[in-house]
Chain A
Amino acid sequence: MTFALADPMTLAAGPMTLAAVEPPLVSAVTGLMGGTVGIYLRPVDDGTVAATNARLAAGSTLRRVGAWADRLTRFAETSDLARLNASSDHRVPVRPTLAAALDWARQAEGLSGGIVDIALLDARLAAEDTKGDQAVIAAPRPDRSWSMDRGSRVTFIRRPVGLRFDLDGVAKGWLADRALRLLGSFPSAVVDADGDIAIRLGDGESWRFGIADPRSTEADLLELDLVGSTVDGIDGFGLATSGTSVHRWVHGSQMTHHLIDPRTGRPARTDIVQATVLAGTAREAEALAKTAVILGSEAALAVLAGHDVHGAVLLTDRDELLMTPATTRWLA
């Protein structure tokens, strides 16, 4: 940040004021969605009332995230998503939270050129089934088209009977963004939905974020210093990572993973082990990170350049670290 100064005395007070107000961060972390969800807030001032308000807001937001996740999970039979998957009707009514998440899934499909596809649950379950024969189970379902009839109170999903959905990371990025909106009264706030992170930083405030190295638990792959800036018009970030090294299974003589390529219905054959994307929102970052992994490094860099993301870090199976040019601005 650069200032042109006519009166040195005036500027002298500026940075000192910025440095003086640094109330401690308030955080709340809990186990959700099969992982960890955390909320990190900077109170509006360094008073005890502000800190208490921040703690209350963090706790209530965590509870809201838990309630939303309960509706969107496919692992609970009582969830809205499980009811939709189990329905024997072509046209199924869904409640607003699931409707909104499915609406974003529809948009993510367009954003990714069809690579993000939530209607691949059967293929994913087949990939997880280590007792099956991959050549038989991986046949993609041809009729995966579905649509939404959005109403003011009830939304109807039209899909072939038996077509089942898996929101997976699509829901996590969406949840992180939605939770961050609840914390709009805090100048700086971060919602970490198990690795998919929604970030809002006050003007001039800088927070450091790590990118986990899938090859080691000892050190991070990289660290990014993100800075809130009204000058650049950046009012928020989304940081998300996807990859093939955590959810992977031995399938016959082959190693498979959970990221299904909709073009083949099989686990993607890719040279990317892990992709991290820094975008404007967590949901966009998640969708593009997943897309990058499925497409592979060459196509991924072209797609990421087309979406004008704030940054991207790709780790290949050749131990190469590829970055988009904009990423260097944020390197710690």
Chain B
Amino acid sequence: MPGIRDHRTARPAAMESQPAPTQAAPVHAARPAPVARAKPDARPLRIAYGMVALAATTALVTALATPPPAGAAAGSATDVAQTTTILPAEPAQPVKHVIQYVQLKPGQTAPANAQVKVVPTPKPRVVVVKTRQSGAKP
């Protein structure tokens, strides 16, 4: 196939000039030893990672161990006060609660000026269920 090198047929020129290997000699011994490529030095990157981790840990410990600033305990109240200052000066639209009716619990009395109405008890459903002395099983 064009463009694809056939490993079975393509030999280096240096091998062709050498005598044919004996049967005992390994094939790979005839190939040139690969040149070891030098790896980049990992130490600077490791040092950089260590520095970042140390900085992050220091920041976390500092945040946890440092006592809160004065007034922080009343944070919610402070927040509310600040929120109040940015509201518009004019009063909010009053909300009108209209109670149309309430159901009185046993013992409760009706509010003044309320019209009291007794709801008739619903007509009971007559079920054919009857409690009785039962049979003997189980």
A34 to B138, CA, bound (A): 7
The distance in angstroms between the C-alpha atoms of A332 and B128, with both chains bound, is: 15
Is there a chain A Cβ closer than 8 Å to B8's Cβ? Answer: no
Q: Is B106 an interface residue (CB 8 A)?
A: yes
> What is the bound-complex CA distance between A193 and B103, given in angstroms?
36
Do residues A241 and B132 form an inter-chain contact, with CB atoms below 8 A?
A: yes
Could you say which of A73, A206, A245 contacts B133, with CB atoms under 8 Å apart? A245
Number of contact residues on A: which range applies? 35 or more
Q: Which of A69, A167, A210 has the most CB of B within 10 A?
A: A210
Q: Of B100, B103, B126, B133, which contacts A214 at CB under 8 A?
A: B133
- What is the chain A residue whose CB lies nearest that of B111? A4
Contacting B at CB under 8 A, from A157-192, are 167-169, 171-172, 190, 192
Q: For residues 229 through 261 of chain A, which have their beta carbon under 8 Å from a beta carbon of chain B? A: 231-232, 239-243, 245-247, 258
Q: Mark A117-138, 1 if CB is under 8 A from B, else 0.
A: 0000000000000000000000
- Which chain B residues lie closer than 8 Å to A239 at the CB level? 131
Contact of A73 among B106, B110, B137 (CB under 8 A): B137
Pick out which of these stretches binds chain B: A10-18, A43-51, A83-91, A143-151: A10-18
- Inter-chain CA distance A160–B102, complex, in Å, is 61
> Counting CB contacts under 8 A, is A220 at the interface?
yes
Query: Are A34 and B136 in contact (CB-based, < 8 A)?
Result: yes
Tally inter-chain residue pairs, CB-CB below 8 A: 164
- The answer, yes or no, to whether B129 is at the interface (CB within 8 Å) is yes
In the complex the two chains form, is A35's CB within 8 Å of B131's CB? no
Is B43 interfacial (CB 8 A cutoff)? no
Quick one: closest B residue to A24, CB to CB? B125
| Chain B positions 119 through 136: 1 when the CB is less than 8 Å from some CB of chain A, otherwise 0 | 111111111111111111
**B28 at the binding interface (Cβ < 8 Å):** no
Complex interface bits, B90-110 against A, C-beta within 8 A gives 1, otherwise 0:
000000001111111110001
- For residue A81, CB closer than 8 A to chain B, the reply is yes
Q: Which residue from chain B places its CB closest to the CB of A212 in the assembled complex?
A: B132
Within the complex, what minimum Cβ distance (angstroms) separates B83 from chain A? 35
Q: Restricting to A57-77, which residues have a CB under 8 Å from any CB of B?
A: 69, 72-75
Most A CB within 10 A of own CB, among B98, B124, B130, B133: B133
Point out residues on B near A: beta carbons under 8 Å: 98-106, 110-111, 114-138
